[in-house]
Structure 1
Amino acid sequence: MDQKTVLITGCSSGIGLSLAVHIANDEKKRFMVYATMRNLSKGEALVEAAGRTLGKTLEIKQMDVCDENSIKACVDSIPERRIDILISNAGVGLIGPIECQSIEEMKAVMDTNFFGMVRLLKEILPDMKKRKSGHIVVISSVMGIQGILFNDIYAASKFAVEGFCESLAVQALRFNLNITLIEPGPVVTEFERKVFEEGLKTDLSKADKVTADMFTNIYLKNYKQIFDTFGQTAEDIAEHTFKIITVESPPFRHQTNSLYTPMTTLKYADPNGDLPIDIFYKMVFEHDKVFNASLNFLKLLRWRSRKSFTLDKPKA
């Protein structure tokens, strides 16, 4: 069986690093992984984690998804420019009141999370169409389905990703291509730690007192507990993604966290969209004790989310 070429972005740490190592360690050696990152000087962790796979089933390459020339140079360096599986993972985060964020900061999030993916596809999709084979996997988020308090811009970038891919998926079928959106909930990584630390430094002077209080004493205060309750590891996401790329008929969407799924399901329960907003509002502002008790209860059930999952479609 010929090896499939896998190109992954954002591999210096977190989900990208785990994805690269997990796929490169496939016992059947079905994949040749090209793990990319913007700054190669930050590749030490990946080199160490790659171990014996480095130079065999894993190679590290430079790529900046915000630079079309960098993307082209990387793709051109791959034998025959053949990429069988593209995993678009590179991303940045931003939390806080929008009054306290600059338009430039917002543009940077969109440029990496959304336009970074678009640049990749502009370079890689035409070759996949010619071959009429390929799998595009995008690491999205449950926040591409449902917005979360003080994640306005990050959620907007993931909503854009989801809308783009949902539109493209119809065209992709014509060329025998698969598109899959991987939708994690909270994931405990260096990425999330940095986002939280930057959130702590937010200058709230431009926000009104109520908003500043909401961000500091509700959002940031509950941040750690939510991650302790719902948080998965980068390796969890890598395991889910590996199963997605090895099944015969991969799904268009796959949520990795069964504990979080009931919260995203609320969006589809009410066509008006009022239900999830009303429930989240009441949980945060009117029933905060119940909310905290629920988090503690769910923490006891975390073992359920670690059970092996199935890709079977739900019964009607």
Structure 2
Amino acid sequence: MLPPRILRRLVLAPLVIVVTVFMLVTLPFWLVVTAAASLRLPPPQRRGLRFVWFGMAWLTLESAVLIACLWLWVAGGARHQERHYDLIRWFLSKVYAAAVRTFRLTLDVQEPEPTEEERAARLTRPVIVLSRHAGPGDSFLLIYHLLELYRRRPRIVMKAALQYDPSLDVVINRLPNAFVPRKTGQEGVIEEIRRLAATMGDEDALVIFPEGGNFTPRRRRLAIRRLEEKGLAEEAERARGMDHLLPPRPNGAIAAIDACPSADVVFVAHTGLDDLITIGDVWRKLPFSAHITAKWWRVPAAQVPHTREDRIRWLYDHWEQIDAWITAQRLPVGEKGPQAGRAG
């Protein structure tokens, strides 16, 4: 059960700063111990030093964000949204830079070159982002690029348990986002999506993960079975044809479009670290260099279907396109067909 907000502020937030100071003071000890332990492992498994270094960077940045939030609160700027978006942008840019140095992370975003009209529209319309959900850090990378590359102000519906992270808890609760408790039903989640979409301005972006969770073969089988039990034979058949994705749950996307019909819709695909789901996966399989490829398709608001049935088919159409793109990305370079680079 999540502790009350006042307890999180008085206990968890200061605890992060105390732990950060302790780790900084004792960092030489942890580096020596980790290096000694790594000598017993074969080179591909010597990841300890990288994890210690990245963890230290993360803790330091978390503490810096918490101190900045405290200063904003004391100075009366706790309600100033733009300052908090700047703070998130700064934090994510530093985490991204640390990941680049520590894990040799590279990110390739494939996007068709926009026309002048499309470039102007990007600055004058809200967007609804429908993204694939797979692997660690996809939300982080997506939010980072929305903030840094596209200068958007992202909104997202998240699990309430994420508020155990003090900096996330403080900053995100000061901005138009939503944390939903574990036992919240689907209708409650959709209502939060509808609320966030209805109040979007031209610089805002609502981020939704229609799959509802990370892909696993078991979840795929269960999702297809649920579609069959609901009598949705067409959707079940199309879901069976997708090898890398869970079938999309359309209600959240449709609710967002209904609440903000002026918004363009952006579909996001990514691949590269798909097999790294749990902390154990990250520890066992993280390569010495990590490469993530992402692709974005933008659909102008005028081209979004109007009826529910047409929107569901349209959503599955794009999900099948994302699945085909992922398949193409996993082929050897010489075998990649036109789908790998098609703008869509």
Same topology, TM > 0.5: no
Structure scoring higher RCO (CA < 8 A, sep ≥ 6) equals 2
TM range (shorter): 0.3 to 0.5
TM-score for the superposition, normalised by structure 2: 0.35
